[in-house]
Amino acid sequence: MTSQFDVIVCGGGLAGAAAALAAGRSAMKVALVAPQDPTPDERTTALMMPSVRFLRKLGIDSAFKDHAAPLKTMRIIDDTGRLLRSPPLTFRAQEISEQAFGYNIRNTDLQKILMLELSREGGIEVLNVAAEHITYKDDCIRVALTDGTQLEGRILAGSDGRNSLVRRSAGISARSWSYPQAAVVLNFDHEYDHDDTSNEFHTPSGPFTQVPLGRNRSSLVWAMNPSEADNRKQDSDADLCHHIEKRLHSMLGKVSIASDRRFFPFSGLMADQFGKGRSVLLGEAGHVFPPIGAQGFNLGLRDVSLFMDLLRRIPTGGEATIGDAFDRGRRSDVGSRTLGVDILNRSLLNGFLPVQMARFAGMSALAHIPPLRALAMREGMGPGRSPLHGAATRHQGVG
């Protein structure tokens, strides 16, 4: 027997859970194919305010705030030690009339909140198994699961990661690349209060970024060259704490590790299309880049926002072209963000003097020209015509 749905979402991560909830809130009958990883994800996500507002639209607010820490100030410090060092750059949310740029939350806490909301939505069925095979028909898409279950839907959303089965089954190719970097990711406690301030130190091997996670607790993403990453893997907690304190210039005092340490190679991926026919690609199924500038999941939520907007105004028979409309609507935002993160990261790795001069000029302009700094802050939180601000309705429609 084959179960019938309006929307099938493949992928049980944050973007997939948000997409299923968005489709359910749009009065759709939804299946979420969500094999769960039993290992808690201690990594964190810095949700910018447009993303927070979108989660509120999905009915998530008070529970979210109980687990998240506000980001009221962001500081960038040139710690490259090169000939031309950019001036310290401080962004304050109050400069753009916001109480905070966003909130930092552990992925495992946000996932629990989303799954709880999904359990309360009557039109959503959550299946804790993986998709095995996908077949495209003229009037539907069929998804076979590893336990033998057969699903049939009018629309398929792929949020199943960089090795997406949905992307491959739709015949969409992707370009991938790598960087000569790895990152250690962990959470740590510290002696002094962070004052709701994130500090990003730019080093010759990439950014070292501390983000508030709670009172006297922060998360860390530390980019380094692979050989140094190998050394840090061998460190005791005491040795690793010493290196973290040194990188922080002791501004937070003594530190202690508060989570498992995880290591990730820096890499990127971009699908050639973000949707095709009845299929759309959300989150890392369509785009992957290094954890720089708090862009990853925020970009994924903008995917979900446009997807929800298209679902709500889809005409009869328009399901067959929703993927093409989605691709048109997401191409500019994803492309510009991917390029921006790539340029920022590579500029740190490049010691060529003209590149240093360009970085120095850009950072100096941001530090000394308030209107330019305000523009940068707004665009960093979300593009001027972001779907999260309702601009999705101005994108090309379905059909």
- Split at pLDDT 50, 70, 90, the class of 283 is very high
Q: Which of 84-98, 168-182, 207-221, 334-348 has the lowest mean pLDDT?
A: 334-348
CA distance 312 to 256: 48
> Which among 186, 211, 187, 205 has a CA at the least distance from the CA of 74?
211
**Residue 357 domain-assigned (yes or no):** no
Q: Which of 40-54, 150-164, 376-390 has the lowest mean pLDDT?
A: 376-390
Report whether 292 contacts 207 (CB < 8 A): yes
Asked whether the predicted pLDDT for residue 91 surpasses 70, the reply is yes
CATH number at residue 60: 3.50.50.60
**Residue 156 domain-assigned (yes or no):** yes
CA distance 383 to 399: 26
Beta strand residue intervals within the chain, DSSP E: 2-10, 30-33, 44-48, 69-71, 73-78, 89-92, 102-106, 124-127, 131-136, 141-145, 150-158, 174-190, 197-203, 206-214, 217-224, 255-257, 262-271, 275-276, 279-281, 287-288
Query: What per-residue string of b and e applies to 348-366 under the rule 16 or more CB within 10 Å gives b?
Result: bbeeeeebbeebbebbeeb
Q: Once rounded to an integer, what is the mean pLDDT over residues 160-167?
A: 95
pLDDT digits (tens, 9 = 90+) for 177-196: 999 999 999 999 999 999 99
Asked whether the predicted pLDDT for residue 399 surpasses 80, the reply is no
**Residue 22 domain-assigned (yes or no):** yes
**Residue 193 domain-assigned (yes or no):** no
Residue labelled with tokens 């907007």? 309
Query: What per-residue string of b and e applies to 137-168 under the rule 16 or more CB within 10 Å gives b?
Result: eeebbbbebeeebebbbbbbbbbbbbebbbbe
Query: Total domain count for the chain?
Result: 1
Asked whether the predicted pLDDT for residue 313 surpasses 50, the reply is yes
- Split at pLDDT 50, 70, 90, the class of 384 is low
DSSP 217-231: EEEEEEEE-HHHHHH
pLDDT digits (tens, 9 = 90+) for 366-378: 887 888 888 888 8
Segments forming the whole domain that contains residue 50: 2-72+107-176+269-351
Q: Which of 17-21, 122-126, 384-388 has the lowest mean pLDDT?
A: 384-388
**Residue 31 domain-assigned (yes or no):** yes
Q: Which of 219-228, 272-281, 303-312, 352-361 has the lowest mean pLDDT?
A: 352-361
Asked whether the predicted pLDDT for residue 161 surpasses 90, the reply is yes
| Distances from the Cα of 204 to the Cα of 137, 181, 257, 266, angstroms | 51, 11, 24, 15
**Residue 92 domain-assigned (yes or no):** no
- Split at pLDDT 50, 70, 90, the class of 352 is low
**Residue 255 domain-assigned (yes or no):** no
**Residue 260 domain-assigned (yes or no):** no
- Split at pLDDT 50, 70, 90, the class of 290 is confident
CA distance 191 to 378: 32
